[in-house]
Amino acid sequence: MRRLALIAIALAGVLPAAAQAQQRTRLTVYTALENEQLQPFKQAAEAALRDVEIAWVRDSTGVITARLIAERANPRADVVWGLSVFSLLQMEGLDMLEPYTPAGADALRPSMRSDRSPMTWTGMDAFVSAICFNTVVAQQRNLPRPSTWDDLLNPAFRGQIVMPNPNSSGTGFLTMAGWIGRRGEAGAWDFMTRLHDNIQQYTHSGSAPCNNAARGEFGVGISLDMRAVTLRNQGAPIEIIVPTDGVGFDLEATAIMRGTRNLDAAKRLADFAVSRAAMTVYGRFYALLALPGVDPSVQGYPAEFSQRLVDADFRAIALQRDRLLRDWSARFDGKSAPRN
Amino acid sequence: MSEAALPVVGSRPRLSADQVAMRAGLWLAVAFLALFLVLPLGTLLMRAFETPQGGFAGVANFRDYASTPALLAAAWNSLWTAALTAVVVVPLAFLYAYGLTRSCMPAKAAFRAVMMLPLLAPSLLPALALIYLFGNQGMLRGVLLGHSIYGPIGIVVAQVFYCFPSAALILAVALSTADARLYEAASALKASRVRIFRTVTLPGARYGLVSALVVVFTLVMTDFGIPKVIGGQFPVLATDVYKQVVGLQNFNMGAVVGIVLLAPAVLAYLLDRWATRQRAATLSGRAVPLRPLPRRQRDVPLLVLCLVIAAVLVGIVGVAAWGSLIRFWPYNLSLTLDNYDFARFDASGWDTVWLSVRMATLVAVIGTVIVFIIAYVLERGAQDGVLPKLARFAASVPLAVPGLVLGLAYVLFFNHPANPLGFLYGAVAILVLNSLVHFYTVGHLTAVTAIRQLDPEFEAVSASMRVPVWVTFGRVIVPICLPAILEIAVYLFVSAMTTVSAVIFLYGPDTKPAAIAVVHMDEAGQASAAAAMAVVILGITTAAKVGQLAVGAVVARLTQAWRR
Amino acid sequence: MTAPAPEIETLEDAARRARRDAPYLEVQEVGKQFGSFVALRRVNLEIRSGEFVTFLGPSGCGKTTLLRGIAGLDPPTTGRIMQGGRDITHLPPAERDFGIVFQSYALFPNLTVAENIAYGLRGAAWPKARRRERVAELLSIVGLADQAPKYPAQLSGGQQQRVALARALANEPGLLLLDEPLSALDAIVRQHLRQEIRSLQQRLGVTTIMVTHDQEEALGVSDRIVVMSRGRIEQVGTPAEIYDNPASPFVAGFVGHSSRIEAVVDTPPGIIIASGMKLVAEATRPLLYGARVTCFIRPEHVRLARLAEAPEGALSAVVTGLEYLGPVVRLSLEAGPLRLLAAVSPGEFAALEAAPGAAFAVTLPPEHLMVFVEDV
């Protein structure tokens, strides 16, 4: 009898907690957002959707995309929130995204949402490839401050520029796509060939160039603008330069995975992701938001930032990705003997 | 009379309970290796023969890959950096091991412990230290005479650091089993020291040398962490896998490179097998152990050399530890403990550390049991038939499989909706199994070495006394092999604490290991925090190693009565 | 109707009688192949209860294979093995009735002497007290009563050997198998221990098979010796039979010392010619003229005399070497192309004043020439 009583007491203690846990739906969300963004985004979402719990799986864009595609046969993610639209387009091609038009998605900038109906993805914000410029190194080495991509062709930068290898990193491809969009393919190859002479290395990680510039290893790192903001906050003497001659940009976007077991909660998270409240949180980190009329609170971006974005059909460029990368490889990869 | 024409008895021999047990063990071993190594790897490698749409591609992918201009460069770079690393690290490790085993220099135990340092930390730690030391802002950048650390120099230096313990361990074992009588005979024949070294010492350590060369070569070939961080754009095969899988999400091509990468490793394996057979022929059962006598001309230079090597090892780790205490390299070198407040950098904070400890403990406990039982069954069970041979080969494969390839293979295999083992996916279990398989080979070899030293007739004697084999296993085999078992457990623990590439595809929302957090923080530019997390991992693995030494000492004292 | 009752009873009686008289261990047509290598060819052997039998032969002759076949460690590929009337050919070792001592002893290094001996004494049949009693008994049998708490590594080789023996005997097996049990020991301990094993075996009456390549050991302790070569049994017999009447040139050459003489049968009957020298060999009387024979003679049967006192038919031989062995002196002789060994007592040696280079008259007594006709 005593044992029974004990069990009853134990159950009484456990049950309310269990019930509470059951009420909240746990969504597995794959993301490539920055580490420090995870907590604010999660808090905002959970505050808005009281019965949803966000469980992040965060990694670099390449790793997360590879994981999503590898898991395609049996998706583990319910929602992708904060991943490059290039990755999402690739997944759309593999029929991995659940079509759903979130409430309020029609208000987004047309270029920053899926053109399908129902939509397969919705944009959150834009991020661009930018120049991380180490001012201390620049002083030591007498490097002029670059304000355009073409400025980087100055022989003074020989051996001082690091950029991501487009074959290994989405950031690298994004940068390259921006050049192609702006200059046309032939012009872009010409530019890259000349830039190649100044490049010290093509890194495998998209964030490494900026990290290296921040550590003073090199004067210039071509990376995402987001990366540079984080580093400067830590005290790195770097300036974030958004070249005035047009930058390639990428969107961070949201999508529901086809086959999710929590479709209802996933839809509500997708709704939240395009909401004004969400955009306000994005605005703490990004300068260009998908929803017009929300003022970003992030500091350090030029006012006319959005005009610097290259106006190009990235979807068309993305479709040629394989060929472009192969060409890139043939030009710069194999023969890129280490230079000292 | 024809020799082969003996009539065959019709009745089949009946299996004893022992044989049934051993056979069950063999089947278990085969099932384990098949389920957690061969099938996942097969699932992935099959992709090499498929088109991205899933159709049959034949060798088209290979032809495609062979026409990639960067391929030859990457293959050649992999080969020569691996060879150069092996050529640099093996002689150094040989001298170090020689000092440990064949000299009378002091503090051997301390040197032995320091030797293990590189294995105890995630590979990012030496890479960071090298940047702090030899980077463009580095404290010692002048040493490179204007050459860049990013590229082959950095790769080879970091790999030498990383492979040193493995090579030194193998060579220390090889050098510690010398037969003193050979040396006496050589001196009696008035051979000079150089001649004795050349004709007795080197041939005696031949197997160890080949083994060390093979292991170092394979480690360098398959590692992608170091080339990724410090190799710049210097292309090697392992980063090609990374490029194909992570950069391009082209698993088919990734599988192709994975297979290309396996080829030299398989060759190395065959070479190692050949060397093993050579050794079997030269081993004498009645060797008299060699006890070195003090000799200053030998001991002092060896001591100096070991001191220098140990100082370099400690120095590199020390620089990284210092790096974990500074605010921002190289512009704000004021000291702080903030970098250890991991919650500031990663939402999971210290949880990743506890997760890693939990996971590594499981790997150590479960892994040691599995590794030892399988090694026992393969060594002492029936040797005929094709199964044991296959299982033995399978056990040696993981060493040659890049972690990234194994991780991807696990996703494709275990996450398949038709796989009844799918429930393992996404939980700690999959991380544990994956790490266990990734580091299987070294544990297996350690167990095999220990088991081969046992008298081959223990089981026969037990059977004659009608004692079942599992009783003898528990009462005799395991107690005798306890030091090796401890060694395996700690090796698995340490490896699971530091592994990145194998689990990067497999961790779930609540199961992010600390070593992954190190990579994330470094990617986010938080190098000091990354170094701090690496130092925490180093602290835990060092504690495990020290624990092993302490337990080992207790075991040695308790068993000194019967251990020779 | 079936057969009448009385007849059945007679059959049963016969069977019972047969069992009583039957050998304890029967090896019938046993063969063993490892891949294409034939280790044993159709071996037949019977061993009576309480016998001490030695398998003797050079390494690779199949003696250990046969022992392991009997133990069930490497079951034979063909044939049948019966122990105590039971077909054990394919029984696993654990279901057989034997104890075994290996060359390496295979003592468990992590268990004490007492624990090693008690290792097989488990289960309900061996309560603690009984087990302790039995261990003490065995320890005193092998003379190690004071060594019980020690570990094998703390014992000498000979002591370890005794522990292994005690352990093998603990279960009172019907058959004791010894696989080169003495070969790891030095000469003096060896000689001492083999006599101990023999007397222990006689005291306990346990049927014992020992494998050895040491003929002196085999001759010294065995009831019967099984001489093996190249997977075959060459001869089975008592030590005296083996030594005095070897069944084959192999046995004659392998067991004991002897000089080998190749010869051809000549006339008159009983005369052979070896390297141009005439010898008398009674055993060749029935053989045809011209038949090739191989003869062996033991050193102790070679007779020496001074040349001046040479008997009829003696050969002249020169001493080329001598070994002083204590009880005998062994001389190497050359009689023309023939090489002979002769053993003389020290007294005789002194009387002969033999020294290297000296010549003597040598007689080979016809009754001691062991003659074998060469296979045609």
* Interface predicted TM-score (ipTM) of this complex, two decimals: 0.86
Q: With an 8 Å Cβ cutoff, is B520 touching chain A?
A: yes
pLDDT at C334: 92
**Alpha carbons B345 and B355: distance in angstroms, whole number:** 17
Q: Which of B3-7, B376-380, C186-190 has the lowest mean pLDDT?
A: B3-7
- Residues 334-363 on B with a CB inside 8 Å of A are 345-347
Beta strands at C292-297 and C259-266: parallel, antiparallel or unpaired: antiparallel
User: In 3-state terms, what secondary structure has residue C70?
Assistant: helix
B523·A205 Cβ contact <8 A: yes
Choose the closest CB to B525 out of A38, A168, A210: A210
- Count of other CB atoms within 10 angstroms of residue C9: 10
Q: Are B85 and B160 in contact (CB under 8 A)?
A: yes
Neighbours of chain C (3+ CB pairs under 8 A): B
Q: With an 8 Å Cβ cutoff, is B239 touching chain A?
A: yes
SS (H, E, C) B176-197: HCCEHHHHHHHHHCCCCHHHHH
Task: Choose one of C209, C228, C253: the last residue of a domain.
Answer: C253
**Residue C143 falls within a domain, yes or no?**
no
What's the pLDDT band for C3 if we cut at 50, 70, 90? very low
Q: Are C99 and C168 in contact (CB under 8 A)?
A: yes
Chain B partners within 8 Å of C110 (Cβ): 476, 479-480, 559, 562
Task: Classify B484 in phi/psi space as left (phi over 0), alpha (psi -120 to 50) or beta.
Answer: alpha
State how far residue B507 is from chain A, nearest Cα, in angstroms: 8
Chain B partners within 8 Å of C153 (Cβ): 561-564
Average pLDDT of span A7-35: 66
Q: Are B174 and B211 in contact (CB under 8 A)?
A: yes
Q: Do C202 and C302 share a structural domain? A: no
- Count of other CB atoms within 10 angstroms of residue A66: 29
- By C-alpha distance, the chain B residue nearest C120 is B465
Token pair for residue A314?
């990235």
State how far residue B251 is from chain A, nearest Cα, in angstroms: 8
Token pair for residue C346?
């020290």
CA distances for A217 relative to A130, B131, B325, B422, C88, angstroms: 18, 9, 20, 45, 80
CA distances for B120 relative to A5, B166, B426, B443, angstroms: 50, 12, 26, 16
Bridge partners (DSSP) listed for residue C40: C32
Tell me the domain boundaries of chain A: 22-126+249-303, 128-242+308-333
Q: Are B518 and B436 in contact (CB under 8 A)?
A: no
User: In 3-state terms, what secondary structure has residue C370?
Assistant: strand
Q: Do C304 and C241 share a structural domain? A: no
Choose the closest CB to C151 out of B18, B475, B561: B561
What's the pLDDT band for C10 if we cut at 50, 70, 90? low
Q: Based on the structure, what is the number of domains in chain C? A: 2
Q: With an 8 Å Cβ cutoff, is C168 touching chain B?
A: yes
pLDDT at A321: 86
**Residue C103: alpha-carbon gap to chain centroid:** 16
**Residue C291 falls within a domain, yes or no?**
yes
Choose the closest CB to A235 out of B151, B332, B521: B332
- The amino acid at C232: R
**Residue C110: closest CA among B130, B555, A246, A186:** B555
What's the pLDDT band for A17 if we cut at 50, 70, 90? very low
**Alpha carbons B485 and B372: distance in angstroms, whole number:** 7
Choose the closest CB to B466 out of C33, C76, C94: C94
**Which residues 6+ apart lie within 8 Å of B219 measured at CB?**
B159, B162, B163, B166
Q: With an 8 Å Cβ cutoff, is A111 touching chain B?
A: no
CA distances for B8 relative to B4, C72, C77, C127, C344, angstroms: 10, 17, 6, 45, 53
A340·B330 Cβ contact <8 A: no
- Out of B139-143, C34-38, C106-110, C287-291, the most confident range is C106-110
Q: Which CATH number fits domain B17-44+68-279+288-330+341-559: 2.102.10.10, 1.10.1740.10, 1.10.3720.10, 3.40.50.970?
A: 1.10.3720.10
Indicate the CATH number for domain A128-242+308-333: 3.40.190.10
Q: Are A100 and A256 in contact (CB under 8 A)?
A: yes
Q: With an 8 Å Cβ cutoff, is A329 touching chain B?
A: yes
Chain A partners within 8 Å of B46 (Cβ): none
What's the pLDDT band for A334 if we cut at 50, 70, 90? low
pLDDT at A12: 45
Choose the closest CB to B411 out of A67, A231, A236: A67
Token pair for residue C241?
């039979």
Q: Do C314 and C227 share a structural domain? A: no
| Residue with tokens 């004494």, as numbered in its chain | C121
Looking at residue B506, what DSSP letter applies? T
Dihedral sign of CA atoms B531, B536, B539, B541 in order = negative
What's the pLDDT band for B284 if we cut at 50, 70, 90? very low
What's the pLDDT band for A333 if we cut at 50, 70, 90? confident
**Alpha carbons A61 and C104: distance in angstroms, whole number:** 63
Average pLDDT of span B406-413: 90
Q: Do C222 and C308 share a structural domain? A: no
Q: Are C224 and C242 in contact (CB under 8 A)?
A: no
**Alpha carbons B395 and B392: distance in angstroms, whole number:** 5
Q: Which CATH number fits domain A22-126+249-303: 3.40.50.300, 3.40.190.10, 3.40.50.2000, 3.10.129.10?
A: 3.40.190.10
User: In 3-state terms, what secondary structure has residue C44?
Assistant: strand
- The amino acid at A68: L
**Residue A274: closest CA among A121, A172, A130:** A121
- Are A22-126+249-303 and A128-242+308-333 in the same CATH fold? yes
**Residue B155: closest CA among B243, B236, B93, B74:** B236
**Residue C23 falls within a domain, yes or no?**
yes
Q: Do C265 and C247 share a structural domain? A: no
Q: Do C93 and C180 share a structural domain? A: yes
Task: Choose one of C253, C288, C303: the last residue of a domain.
Answer: C253
In this complex, whether C and A touch, counting 3 or more CB pairs under 8 angstroms, is no
A324 half-sphere exposure, CB direction, 13 A CA radius: 27
Choose the closest CB to C108 out of B14, B17, B476: B476
**Residue B202: alpha-carbon gap to chain centroid:** 24
Token pair for residue A194?
């000349």
Looking at residue C22, what DSSP letter applies? S
Q: With an 8 Å Cβ cutoff, is A221 touching chain B?
A: no
SS (H, E, C) B65-115: HHCCHHHHHHHHHHHHHHHHHHHHHHHHHHHHHHHHHHCCCCCHHHHHHHH
**Residue B134: closest CA among B315, B325, B338, B343:** B315
- By C-alpha distance, the chain B residue nearest A94 is B53
pLDDT at C284 over 50: yes
Which structural domain, as residue segments, surrounds residue C281? 257-373
Tell me the domain boundaries of chain B: 17-44+68-279+288-330+341-559
Looking at residue A294, what DSSP letter applies? P
Q: Do C328 and C226 share a structural domain? A: no
Q: Are C270 and C101 in contact (CB under 8 A)?
A: no
Q: Do C219 and C303 share a structural domain? A: no
**Alpha carbons B204 and B197: distance in angstroms, whole number:** 10
In the sheet that holds C98-101, the strands lie side by side as C98-101, C175-179, C207-212, C52-56, C224-229, C232-237
Cis upstream peptide for C268 (omega within 30°):
yes
Chain A partners within 8 Å of B233 (Cβ): 165, 201-203, 333, 336, 338
CATH code of residue C85: 3.40.50.300
Dihedral sign of CA atoms B100, B104, B105, B106 in order = positive
- The amino acid at B479: P
What's the pLDDT band for A308 if we cut at 50, 70, 90? confident
pLDDT single digits (tens) B29-68:
999 999 999 999 999 889 889 887 778 888 888 888 888 7
Neighbours of chain B (3+ CB pairs under 8 A): A, C
What's the pLDDT band for B254 if we cut at 50, 70, 90? confident
Q: Do C322 and C292 share a structural domain? A: yes
State how far residue A9 is from chain B, nearest Cα, in angstroms: 30
State how far residue B473 is from chain C, nearest Cα, in angstroms: 11
**Alpha carbons C25 and C49: distance in angstroms, whole number:** 8
What's the pLDDT band for B372 if we cut at 50, 70, 90? very high
